[in-house]
């Protein structure tokens, strides 16, 4: 890893770590929608999925609610 971007990504992955929560405990459609939405923060699939899971733990219909509110 020689670029600054790669170094930052490596640092983020260390901070974020491996998410131990299996995808199967989340609604598949919500997790897929959430992962796509969270790409606004990162282009890394693991990080986007972790952010989505964090939101879905707070509210299992988080992304349906966002869509309903037009956000």
Residue-wise pLDDT tens digits, 8-42: 666 666 555 678 899 999 999 999 999 999 999 88
In a domain, 29, yes or no: yes
The DSSP result for 7-61, as a single string, is: HHHHHHHHHH----S-GGGS-HHHHHHHHHHHTTT-S-HHHHHHHHHHHHHH-TT
* Three-state secondary-structure class, residue 3: coil
Counting the structural domains of the chain, the total is 1
In a domain, 40, yes or no: yes
In a domain, 49, yes or no: yes
In a domain, 1, yes or no: no
Q: Tell me the pLDDT tens digit for each residue of 35-65.
A: 999 999 888 898 899 999 999 999 999 999 9
Residue 36: give the domain boundaries. Answer: 20-69
């Amino acid at each position: 890893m020689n670029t600054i971007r790669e170094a930052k990504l490596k640092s983020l992955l260390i901070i974020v770590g491996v998410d131990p929560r299996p995808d199967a405990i989340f609604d598949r459609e919500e997790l897929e929608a959430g992962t796509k939405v969270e790409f606004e923060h990162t282009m890394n699939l693991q990080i986007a999925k972790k952010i989505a899971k964090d939101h879905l733990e707070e509210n299992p219909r988080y992304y349906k609610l966002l869509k309903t509110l037009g956000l």
